[in-house]
Amino acid sequence: MKTELFKLKNVLLLLLIIHILLRSDMTYNQSLIASGMISITAMIWVSMPLLVYFWTGRQRDAVLESLKQWLIANNATLIIFLYLFIGISVLSSSTRF
């Protein structure tokens, strides 16, 4: 099983999150809430195939296969938008004074 932890997009996203949290004027409690929301969002995307597997019943193989094919077909587009979002976020947060 390949690990997806150290792919470039995941590392960049993690660095962006750390950068935004460190540069913000949030209190400790607000930082904990933001970190929790980010963690929940990450867990949702990781656990979605598992939820689909258990909730779709007999159609689960077709549903998961169609999701897999869609992700394979649109992977480059998703990565472009992710990098674009990361770039805009870093540039906009670095230009604040």
Where do the structural domains in the chain lie, given as residue ranges? 9-94
64, 52 Cβ separation under 8 angstroms? yes
Number of H helices, E strands in the chain: 3, 0
Tokens standing for 78?
A: 């998703």
How far are the Cα atoms of 10, 14, 43, 53, 70 from residue 38, in angstroms, in the given order?
13, 10, 9, 24, 25
Please determine, for residue 14, whether its predicted confidence score (pLDDT) is greater than 80.
no
Q: What is the pLDDT of residues 49-78, one digit of tens each?
A: 788 778 877 788 888 888 889 988 998 898
Average pLDDT over residues 34-54: 79
pLDDT band at residue 40 using 50, 70 and 90 as cut-offs: confident
| pLDDT of the residue at 1 | 45
